[in-house]
Structure 1
Amino acid sequence: MGPYEQQRSFLKSNFLEFKHVKTDKIKGLPKPMTVKPYSSSSVIIDLPECNGNVVKKSNIYDCIKERRSTRFYSEESLQLEELSYLLWATQGITSTTKTGLTLRTVPCSGATHTFETYLFIMRVEGIRQGIYRYLPVEHKLLFMSELDEMDEKIDAITLDQPFVPNFSKKAAVMFAWSTIPYRSEWKYDISAHKKILIDIGHVSQNLYLASESIDAGACAIGIYDQNLIDEVLGLNGDEEFILFLGAVGKKRK
């Protein structure tokens, strides 16, 4: 097998093989939790209701046309209302079905929604620097911890970026999306993993377009130290691990 064959095969549909698989859902095993639980003693921050008032550019054509990966940011902070909007745009729950499936602002294979959203917050008005997790059901933030030497730690996590070195730490917020694969494996077994990668693309594009609509810039980050960021966020690296990053900040004029 050549150096690319295995990975190219992964990109192809395996539906015919999947048809013969008895998934954990078919076996009657319990459905995994839709979202991660948290302690009643956690520090929870209310987010402003998302109503679209923060949108400055409402023409979707313009947002699509003018969207670019932005790696240069001003020192301006994001408003809490703007962060609320970005979180809603990328993982916000718009309704729940009678069977308990959450329907969100992004498409997802079988509404499995394997992602959890973590935030490295550097500059958001009214929010202290630190690491947070988004609670989509409540539309709130959970404060996880402060992070000593945040700039240096983000540099170490995002490694050597090829175009603009060390740009991530200059953003207002760095999004870090983890996946809990079993949420999809329970339903899709061997087909889950390709679906998860497709689904994270939807999330990232919504971040780009939502950022553009508030005159902010976003940049997806696929180069990062897997072990380090999982360790920083307290993830075990198997049942949950970081899949993709995205930096957001106000554009430098």
Structure 2
Amino acid sequence: MARWHRRRLSQLLYFSYGVTLVIPYANQPFYMRAAPSAGGLYPAELYLISQGVAGIPEGLYNYQVRSHSLVRFWDESRWPRLQAGCAEAAILNQCSLALVVSAVFFRSAWRYEDRAYRRICLDSGHLLGNIELAANLTGYRAYLLGGFCDQILEELLFLDPQEEGILAVVPLWDLWQPTSADTPQEMPQWPANEFTALSSPIVTHVPELQEGDWLPFLHRVSRIESGSLTRPPVPATTPAEPPADKYNFPFCLRVSTATPPIDWGPHLQELVRSILKRRSTRHFTGADLPLQLLLALLDFTYHPEHYTAQGLDGNPDYFDRSLVETFVVANGVEGLEPGCYYYAVQAQELRQIRFRNFRNEVFQLCLGQELGRDAAAVVFHTADLTKAVARYGERAYRYLHLDAGHLGQRLNLAAIGLGLGVSGIAGFFDNQVNEVLGIPTSEAALYITTLGIPRQASPPKG
């Protein structure tokens, strides 16, 4: 039994953040991981907290990526302290294992400076996307907690808050009975988003900051202190239907996105293969992308409920996906007029809002990166900052970019599975994004994902 538990956890960690390729260099090798990272800097760290299960004694562990091993650096129970730091979240009464995702700030800050916190959160969101799917593959259900007292959890893991900050706690519910790998357990139920996202205070005065001060400032003002760590009211009724799609223009071209789900093969073997061979594309050919493949990408990313028959979670946790809007700029998609489209997730349709080819504009707003010019389709994630801050305070910045990275990782894996090229872009001119999409300045760009036909690649699946 102990070996069985360790093997499953080993696979979960490897599929989430393991080394999938070693590239030799003169000075030292470069280790590529299952989750993408801006500049290959990998700011995220993974910790495991165990309450004590067979083969995984209670204590604190750090995942050592290069050796694919867990180092136990504390051998006493810290679970009660984890519960206290997470506002006594109900799920922690049901689980015995939890992952903690943190970020070592300097790993990104030395290169990206004031833009680094955005990239850190996006990179950590990629990792959360992998954890969600890797949990499905190994018999766990990954829950998501973003409402926690930063100081309590930093002290729990012995972190220096000036150098490393915690971004998410991921309790792991074991779907399989302790004595059998064949009998699934019924998952615990409680009100949706009970503890997934809690709010922090709102900053009313921003001091004058010097270059290099924005990263620590953004993390500091989005902290939740123990005195303000309160449970949200439990709703008396079942949550309402998902919010309606935000943009609905009466006379625009509408294209249905309903499509058969991607077939990930027996035992999700093709999904595993996509996780392990995922790479960011460096160059696109500029060739057109079949519309059916674009629709399949959107379906896997935004409609997990279509994949329950294949064994995937139909309702994975996000901090608040309702805040994130999606636009698609079609530069070269077969059967789709060039232009900018709003993706209405609930209605499952693309709604054209601007009517022309934006290839040159996307090239410019992506800081002159050829990926933006040569991509067949470009996916933009945006959010209404006023609405987000009103709901979650300054903590909203973390939640929005973590969720955008999570969605971006699902796009990544779907593209790789279909033989397409894909690359995320976090470096762009924010105001130019609003101009191209035709959205108000209150709607902020979070993340860009470019899609297309990669150079020197096999024909895409279709």
TM-score bracket, normalised by the shorter chain, equals: 0.7 to 0.9
Instruction: Determine if the alignment matches structure 1 residue 153 to structure 2 residue 356.
Output: no
Distance in structure 2 (CA, Å) of the matches to 1:185 and 1:91: 24
What are the superposed Cα offsets for residues 121-167 of structure 1, whole Å, 9 maximum, x if unpaired? Answer: 1222211111111110011110112235x332122211233xxxx23
% same residue? 21
Distance in structure 2 (CA, Å) of the matches to 1:171 and 1:105: 30
Distance in structure 1 (CA, Å) of the matches to 2:227 and 2:284: 45
Counterpart amino acid of residue 373 in structure 2: K
Distance in structure 1 (CA, Å) of the matches to 2:275 and 2:229: 41
> Retained in 1: the 8 A contact 2:354–2:437?
no
> Retained in 1: the 8 A contact 2:280–2:421?
yes
Paired residues for 1:123-162 under 5 Å: 123-147=332-356, 150-161=358-369
Deviation at 1:219, TM superposition (A): 0.6
Aligned residues: 232
Counterpart amino acid of residue 220 in structure 1: G
Give the TM-score of the pair, scaled to structure 2. 0.45
Give the TM-score of the pair, scaled to structure 1. 0.78
Distance in structure 2 (CA, Å) of the matches to 1:171 and 1:16: 44
Relative distance call for 1:112 and 1:215 in structure 2 (3 A) is closer
Paired residues for 1:1-253 under 5 Å: 3-11=211-219, 14-16=223-225, 19=228, 35-53=245-263, 58-92=269-303, 94=305, 107-109=317-319, 111-147=320-356, 150-161=358-369, 166-238=370-442, 240-253=443-456
Deviation at 1:234, TM superposition (A): 1.6
Distance in structure 1 (CA, Å) of the matches to 2:281 and 2:315: 23
> Retained in 1: the 8 A contact 2:259–2:299?
no
Structure 2 stretches of 5 or more lacking a match?
Answer: 1-208, 236-241, 307-312, 457-462
Root mean square deviation of aligned Cα: 3.2
Deviation at 1:212, TM superposition (A): 0.4
Counterpart amino acid of residue 368 in structure 2: D
- The higher radius of gyration belongs to 2
Structure 1 stretches of 5 or more lacking a match?
Answer: 27-31, 96-102
**Equivalent residue of 1:204, what SS?**
helix
Counterpart amino acid of residue 393 in structure 2: D
Deviation at 1:34, TM superposition (A): 5.0
